[in-house]
């Protein structure tokens, strides 16, 4: 049975995020702002339906999907691209594959105790973020 991701999560650490944004070709001004932010995650998880809200003082991004079903993701709040996205469970890890202009793009979420881990991948660059349940 997959892990329960429900809850409100506050960022406690972020590593290599600026290099990840560079790999996405995000402009320097937006990168500088984004690296200063500590976004929260508000996750609703009901069976195969998951809503992940990434909330910050700069921009919010909502992702509403069903596990295992490919969909067109509009990343206009992130790097202004569209990609075909599939999210699936790999054991207790939620794994996202984003097919589009950037090779090897995607992310993985998993829970360890009261921490939510997020690994972001794009163009061979990996960024790690950790959130604590509040």
Please classify residue 73 by burial: count the beta carbons closer than 10 Å to its beta carbon, then call 0-12 exposed, 13-18 middle and 19+ buried. buried
Q: What is the pLDDT of residue 105?
A: 96
Stretch 4-29: mean pLDDT, rounded? 95
Residue 112 resides in a domain: yes
Residue 1 resides in a domain: no
Residue 27 resides in a domain: yes
Stretch 111-127: mean pLDDT, rounded? 97
Domain with residue 113: its CATH number is 2.40.128.20
Residue 108 resides in a domain: yes
Q: What is the pLDDT of residue 117?
A: 98
Residue 2 resides in a domain: no
18-69 confidence digits (pLDDT tens): 999 999 999 998 899 999 999 999 999 999 999 999 999 888 899 999 999 9
pLDDT band of residue 11 (cuts 50, 70, 90) is very high
Instruction: Name which of 61, 48, 38, 68 is nearest 5 in CA terms.
Output: 48
Instruction: Please state, rounded to an integer, the average pLDDT across all residues of the chain.
Output: 94
> 130 pLDDT exceeds 90?
yes
> Which residue range forms the structural domain that includes residue 53?
7-133
Structural domain count, the chain? 1
Q: What is the pLDDT of residue 81?
A: 84
């Amino acid at each position: 049975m997959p892990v329960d991701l429900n809850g409100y999560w506050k960022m406690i650490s972020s590593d290599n995020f600026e290099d990840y944004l560079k790999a996405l070709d995000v402009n320097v001004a937006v990168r500088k702002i984004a690296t200063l932010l500590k976004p929260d995650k508000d996750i609703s998880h009901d069976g195969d339906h998951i809503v992940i809200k990434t909330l910050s003082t700069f921009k919010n991004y909502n992702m509403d999907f069903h596990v295992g079903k490919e969909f067109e993701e509009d990343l206009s709040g992130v790097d202004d691209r569209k990609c075909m996205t599939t999210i699936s469970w790999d054991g207790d890890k939620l794994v996202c594959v984003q097919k589009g202009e950037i090779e090897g793009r995607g992310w993985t979420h998993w829970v360890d105790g009261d921490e939510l881990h997020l690994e972001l991948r794009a163009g061979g660059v990996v960024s790690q973020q950790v959130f604590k349940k509040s």
